[in-house]
Structure 1
Amino acid sequence: MSVQNDTVSERQAAVYRLYAADGSLLYIGSSYNPKRRCLDHHTKPWWAQVDRRADEWHPSKAEAYVAEMAAIAAESPTHNEMGTPRYVPPAVKAAARRSSRTGELSIAQILSKHGVSRQSLHTYRQRPDFPKPLREGTSRLRWLESEVAAFFAANPKQPGKRTDLPAKQQGEPAMSGQPITRLSREDQEASEQLHATANLIEARWPGEHPTLVRDLRDLVDAIEEESGVS
């Protein structure tokens, strides 16, 4: 396999592209060290097709991640899932399987299924007509899916700009900075990249994209909650 721009920097991170011999784009990723990161791809069934790698360097991992997501959306590599509409973090997949068996929903599943923010859900839960959780006194609350569906059918989300998040909470970190200890490698990587992207958006465009930042951090919370990380 040939490599273009095979250099590594302690400060920079690269967006790397893997191509087949016929020039088709197989995969796009980002890493501080793309050569080492590609070792993880050797077990993929499509790795035998890889003919060359091209690296595109960026000043930071967060900026490389933003560029990676934009490139995936624009260039449609064959084997990427993260960054495409079909990607679902493994922890959320597992939660969906549990829900299909039990008919119960977690907070993260309610956010995803009904398209509401964490702050909106908190507001809804103060209402007397919102369903009660099945088991009180636990950090992993569950609701009956049928009752939640009935509530949102009777109280459809209004279109337009969200106004449910108090200004003082916008831009507030959703993660404590403590190490994540019970996430799978894929979930941890997704969580870190989403968090870094939210930080980059806030730094580059302060106050301009609060909804996007909140949605990114809600997804971080969802991944951690479904993995049992408190």
Structure 2
Amino acid sequence: MPKHPGRTALYRLFNAAGQLLYVGISHKPDVRWGQHSENKPWWPAVDRRVVEWHDTRSAAEKAELVAISQEQPLHNKVGTPALTISGTTGKTPTRPIRVDLGMWAEFGAATQAMGTDRSAALRAFMAWYVNRPSAPLPVRPFDSAQPDSGGSK
């Protein structure tokens, strides 16, 4: 373990043929590998691990996205087309989120019906959730199963 807790490992996992299976980051890669071994079906194929330390988690996150984008590991989901690196400086970085695909589709349809998109709706909800000043509770699309909220139609 490095002396500086901000330091973060970028690790690559390879199979016996040298194929890149997975790229990840962790402050404690040994612990993370133990987690992978318990829940990743591809883990038994791991033959070799390569670790590269970065001074900050932010630096490791950036290096991870570049590595995934350029090296195309077999089992990564983050950093693939669902989470791409923005070429525009100053943009907020994207973040992965795990959501049931059916719910994700429903959410997309609902936000589209409200004239917005998933990202805007999630940001509005998060601003309300953490009590940002003047952040209203986001409006949900009308659902006939829900009781009227007090106003007439």
How many angstroms does 1:38 deviate by?
Answer: 1.1
Contact 2:8 2:27 in 1 (8 A): yes
How many angstroms does 1:32 deviate by?
Answer: 0.7
Describe how 1:177-192 pairs up with structure 2 within 5 A: none
Mapped to 1, the partners of 2:44 and 2:138 lie a distance apart of 43
Q: Whose helix fraction is larger, Structure 1's or Structure 2's?
A: 1
Matched position secondary structure for 2:41: coil
Partner of 1:178: none
Partner of 2:82: 86
> Structure 1-normalised TM-score?
0.43
Contact 1:12 1:32 in 2 (8 A): yes
Mapped to 1, the partners of 2:138 and 2:9 lie a distance apart of 38
How many angstroms does 1:93 deviate by?
Answer: 4.2
Contact 1:106 1:143 in 2 (8 A): no
Aligned-pair Cα RMSD in Å: 3.2
How many angstroms does 1:13 deviate by?
Answer: 0.6
Contact 1:106 1:142 in 2 (8 A): no
How many angstroms does 1:140 deviate by?
Answer: 4.2
How many angstroms does 1:111 deviate by?
Answer: 2.6
How many angstroms does 1:90 deviate by?
Answer: 1.7
Mapped to 2, the partners of 1:58 and 1:141 lie a distance apart of 42
Contact 1:14 1:58 in 2 (8 A): yes
Give the gaps of 5 or more residues in structure 1. Answer: 1-6, 123-137, 145-230
Amino acid at match of 1:21: A
Describe how 1:1-230 pairs up with structure 2 within 5 A: 7-9=1-3, 10-42=5-37, 43-86=39-82, 89-91=97-99, 93=101, 95-99=103-107, 104-105=110-111, 110-112=116-118, 118=120, 139-143=137-141
Partner of 2:89: none
Matched position secondary structure for 1:39: helix
Matched position secondary structure for 1:82: coil
How many angstroms does 1:143 deviate by?
Answer: 3.3
Mapped to 2, the partners of 1:62 and 1:106 lie a distance apart of 33
How many angstroms does 1:76 deviate by?
Answer: 0.2
How many angstroms does 1:106 deviate by?
Answer: 7.7
How many angstroms does 1:97 deviate by?
Answer: 3.9
Matched position secondary structure for 1:8: coil
Runs of 4+ in 1 over 3 A off after TM superposition: 91-95, 97-100
Seen in structure 2, the aligned counterparts of structure 1 residues 16 and 53 have a Cα distance that, compared at 3 Å, is same
